[in-house]
Amino acid sequence: MTHSRWLSKWLDKRLPPQRQCKLDHSNIFILPSKAGVAVILVTLAIYLLGTNYANNLVLLLAYVSTAILISAIFYSFLNVAHLTIQVEKTPPVFLSNVCLQTFRIINERPSWAIEFLHHDGKVQFDLPYVDTHLIKMPFVPPHRGWCLPERIRVQTQAPFMLFTVWSLPHFNIKQLVYPKPIECPQWLTGTGLSQEEGQSNDIQNAEDFYGLREYVETDSLKHVAWKQLAKGKGWLTKQFAAPNQPERWFSYYIVHDNDHELTISHLTWLVLQTKNEDITFGLELPHASLGPNAGPIFIEECLLALAEMP
């Protein structure tokens, strides 16, 4: 729902964001629907007909029609008044997926043909019994991160289609939206870290140092134990605990490909891939680096960090 700035200011005052909204006279709006306007005009025409022909029965018909219009205001109002609407917490979704926002509706009397309108869609339902009902409404999040759902429009023209009764409740619940995952299989095995690779490797290596063995020609010169050689102990090669399985790192800087959002999407996909294999990994982002770690909680942490990326 798009409103002018003045109107939305007024609405914010009248219907501030809340966890739960009870519809009553203070937040329900009523205006004649198109059909209602048509019937009002027809009633006027019938009134003129009755007056000009001085025919009391035609006048009575005009008054009956007026009375129906008046009672319809009450009926339409009572159809939505006293509905209590709460928004339920919805699990995070990925961008460009449809989020099913759940509303808990408590009615105190039967309500008919209630519509929930949103710029992405519309749900219509009847509440014939007094109870608590759960209504799911599709909602396509506009961006990743914390989304504030816009005002929804709770509307009905029941039971006579003569008046539109609506309210615009605002719910102060934030919806977490993860970035959209985009495949990038080339980085599946990890990207390594972006900066001070050697040093950090050394530190890592030093920690994982395991032992020395005879130098073989195929060994990398990097791993020659130069200190030992200088001491005249001959060519030896440093041995590490897991020389071919370095920890998996997904680095923003390495995945980065001129497109900020695409990079985040790639990283999201990479993080998601670890889920099935329970792999330990670390995530390097411009402002923080997470892990290395493993497990669903860590994955959620990573996804949250990705979602919250500026």
Partner 1 sequence: MNWLKTELTHELKLLSLFFPAQIIVQVYQSVHHAWWAILFYLICAIWRFAMLTGSVKPIGKFAKNACFITGLLLVVFTGVSTNILVSLFVMLAVAQSLKILEFETQRDVVSLFIIHLFLTASTLLFYFDLMHSLALALSLFLTVAAVIQCKIKIFSPAASLKMASQLALVSLPIALVLFFMMPQLPPLWKMAKPKSPPTGLTETVKPGDLADLAGSNKLAFRVEFEGAIPDTTNLYWRTLVHESFDGESWAISEQSQAWKKAIPHKQLANQLIDTNQNSFLYTVIAEPSHQKWLHALDIAYPLADKVYLTPDYNLVRTEPVSARMQYKIKSYMHLPVEPYVDFSTAQNLQLPADENEQARALAQKLRQQYPDDAENNELLINALLRRFNQDEYHYTLKPPRVSQYNGIDDFLFESKSGFCAHYASAFTFVVRAAGIPARVVSGYLGGEWNPQGEYLSLYQYDAHAWSEVYLQNKGWVRFDPTAFVAPDRVEMSVQDLFKEKEDFLPDNNFALVKYQELPFVSDVRFWLANVDYQWTRWIINYNQSAQENLLKRLFGQKTDWTFYLYLISFLCASIGLFVLIIWLIQRYKKQPTDVVKYYHKALKALSTQGIDKPIGATPEQLVHEIEHKAPELLPIWHKIIQLLNDIQYRNLPIKTKRKLISQLRVEVKKMQ
56 lies in the site for partner 1, by CB under 8 A: yes
By CB under 8 A, residue 64 contacts partner 1? yes
Nearest distance from C-beta of residue 27 to partner 1, angstroms: 18
**Collapsed DSSP state (helix, strand, coil) of residue 162:** coil
Q: 203 phi and psi, to 5 degrees?
A: -60, -45
Q: Which of 266, 278, 204, 276 is nearest to 241 (CA)?
A: 204
Which one, 45 or 148, has the nearer CB to partner 1?
Answer: 45
Eight-class DSSP state of 209: E
**Which residue reads 């999201």 in tokens?**
268
Asked if residue 38 binds partner 1 (CB under 8 A), the reply is yes
Out of 92, 112, 182, 272, which residue is the one contacting partner 1 (CB under 8 A)?
112
What lies within 8 Å, CB to CB, of 264 at 6+ separation is 144, 179, 306, 309
Residue with tokens 């073989």: 216
Residue 165 found at the interface with partner 1 (CB under 8 A): no
CA distance 156 to 75: 11
Please answer whether residues 244 and 224 qualify as being in contact, where contact means their C-beta atoms are separated by less than 8 angstroms.
no
Sole binder of partner 1 in the list 17, 22, 63, 292 (CB under 8 A): 63
CB of 138 to partner 1, least distance (A): 21
Indicate whether 278 belongs to the interface with partner 1 (CB under 8 A).
no
State yes or no: residue 85 binds partner 1 (CB under 8 A): no
Which amino acid, residue 286?
Answer: P
Choose which of 15, 30, 35, 212 interacts with partner 1 (CB under 8 A): 35
Establish if 55 lies at the interface with partner 1 (CB under 8 A): yes
Closer by beta carbon to partner 1, 61 or else 173: 61
Cis peptide before 159 (omega within 30 of 0): yes
DSSP 8-state secondary structure symbol assigned to residue 179 = P
Any idea of the CA torsion for 44, 50, 52, 53, to the nearest 10 degrees? 160
Closest to partner 1 by CB, 132 or 172: 132
CB of 17 to partner 1, least distance (A): 23
Determine if 189 is a binding residue for partner 1 (CB under 8 A): no
Nearer to partner 1, 44 or 241 (CB): 44
Largest alpha-carbon pair distance within the chain?
128
CB of 200 to partner 1, least distance (A): 50
Q: According to CB under 8 A, which one of 20, 71, 97, 172 is a site residue for partner 1?
A: 71
* Minimum distance from residue 308 beta carbon to partner 1 (Å): 32
**Per DSSP, which regions of 170-273 are E strands?**
175-178, 209-214, 236-240, 248-251
Site for partner 1 in 122-151 (CB under 8 A): 126, 128, 131-132, 134
Dig out the tokens for 83 from the structure. 């509905």
Residues contacting 82, CB < 8 A, separation 6+: 22, 23, 24, 107, 108, 109
Tell me: does residue 210 bind partner 1 (CB under 8 A): no
61 binds partner 1 (CB under 8 A): yes
Chain residues that interact with partner 1, rule: CB under 8 A: 35, 38-39, 42-43, 45-46, 48-68, 70-72, 74-75, 78, 82, 104, 108-109, 112-113, 126, 128, 131-132, 134, 157-161
